[in-house]
Amino acid sequence: MNKLKLIFIVFCIIWQNTAAAERIKDISMVEGVRSNQLVGYGLVIGLPGTGEQSKYTQQSFKGMLNSFGITLDSSLSPKIKNVAAVAVHAELPAFRKPGQAIDITVSSIGSANSLRGGTLLRTFLKGVDGNVYAIAQGSLIVGGLGAEGADGSRIVMNTPTVGRIPNGATVERAVKSPFMQGDYITFNLNRPDFTTAKRLENTINDLIGPNSAQALDSTSVRVIAPRDPSQRVSYLSTLENLEFKPADMAAKIIVNSRTGTIVIGKNVKLQPAAITHGGLTVTIAENQNVSQPGPLAEGETTVTQQSIIDVNEDDSRAFVFNPGISLDDLVRAINEVGAAPGDLMAILEALKEAGAINGQLVVI
């Protein structure tokens, strides 16, 4: 049997007992301080024959001319291969003020072959409420390339129908933020966990004073804050740089059956079990040893745990490990006998069904 070659076997040693503390700003977000999505419809012109001649592009082109006082006959269908209809989208960061610039992305929504060399005409970017928050315009930067021969052969590199314009939109309206409202600031954890929320509460209370912070649930920690804007900014600057140790992650095994990726968390534990998979036999056993002190020693009798794992195949190869067997030792043993990625996945699933894995098995 060939030696096991998993595409990826990643043993996650995340947030170990010796892990460094994290800053509050790195593991949470302040409620109300968020970006907002903007979207608009526009025209890209100046294309070297790589545009389109769809009906809505022609309609948009006529509408643009009408705005400049030029009226075309309704029966006229202009040939505009140098024009493309596009969708423009951007994210408006929190506290961005009118007059400041934001980056935009421009994507073809029709049959245009490429946007390379095009220029976006003035496009109004609207929020979910229908109001205009920014106006976009400028020359596109397109990383993709497309070429087509006379015989119909074609080559495309990357995506020539999507481009970006750095600082391509000017903010016209600011989004109101609830940050300055009320008597509290709320931190929302990026990874909800009751233990982490409680430790965050204790860290803030140790600095500010008892009952200054309150964990509302596994995600949110509410903190008393001053109403004065300048004091609130300084107050938040102090809080977000506080360091504390978050809780260890939950015991999980992530299995991606499509790619062969297996991710095993450090908190996953094994119980004694035995599995036979085809010609492969895996046995996990737990032995207890009694340590007795000498007659004149003042020690105490102790019981120590010894874990033994054996892997047997047709050629009777076996592996015995020192005490302290973990799941990565099991995977390493299976690797030695040359099992396939599918074998390891099947073994993990069987162990979970048998109740021999203390952790959550997630198959994606």
**Residue for token digits 């999507």?**
162
pLDDT at residue 12 greater than cutoff 70: no
Between 153 and 256, residue with greater pLDDT = 256
Domains of the chain, first to last: 8-12+250-363 (no CATH), 23-33+179-244 (3.30.1360), 36-171 (no CATH)
Contact 282/334 with Cβ under 8 angstroms?
yes
Structure tokens at 23: 């800053």
Q: What percent of the chain has pLDDT over 70?
A: 70
What is the reported pLDDT for 296? Answer: 61
What is the average pLDDT across 84-99? 93
Amino acid identity for residue 352 in this structure:
K
Contact 125/169 with Cβ under 8 angstroms?
yes
Q: What percent of the chain has pLDDT over 90?
A: 37
pLDDT at residue 259 greater than cutoff 80: no
Between 13 and 45, residue with greater pLDDT = 45
Q: How many residues does the chain have?
A: 364
Q: What is the 3-state secondary structure (H, E, C) of 84-146?
A: EEEEEEEEECCCCCCCCEEEEEEEECCCCCCCCCCEEEEEEEECCCCCEEEEEEEECECCCEE
Distance CA 131, CA 127 (A): 6
Of 26, 360, 357, 13, nearest to 196 by C-alpha is 26
What is the reported pLDDT for 98? Answer: 95
> Residue 73, class by beta-carbon neighbours within 10 Å (0-12 exposed, 13-18 middle, 19+ buried)?
exposed
What is the reported pLDDT for 198? Answer: 95
Digit-coded pLDDT (tens) for 294-352:
666 566 767 666 666 666 655 544 444 444 456 666 666 666 656 666 777 777 777 77
pLDDT at residue 139 greater than cutoff 90: yes
Of 167, 156, 160, nearest to 143 by C-alpha is 160
Confidence of residue 353 (pLDDT cuts 50, 70, 90): confident
Amino acid identity for residue 341 in this structure:
P
**Residue for token digits 């596994």?**
218
> Residue 336, class by beta-carbon neighbours within 10 Å (0-12 exposed, 13-18 middle, 19+ buried)?
middle
Digit-coded pLDDT (tens) for 218-251:
999 999 999 888 899 999 999 999 999 998 877 7
What is the reported pLDDT for 1? Answer: 37
What is the average pLDDT across 92-96? 93
Backbone angles phi, psi at 29, to 5 degrees: -130, 150
Mean pLDDT of the chain: 78
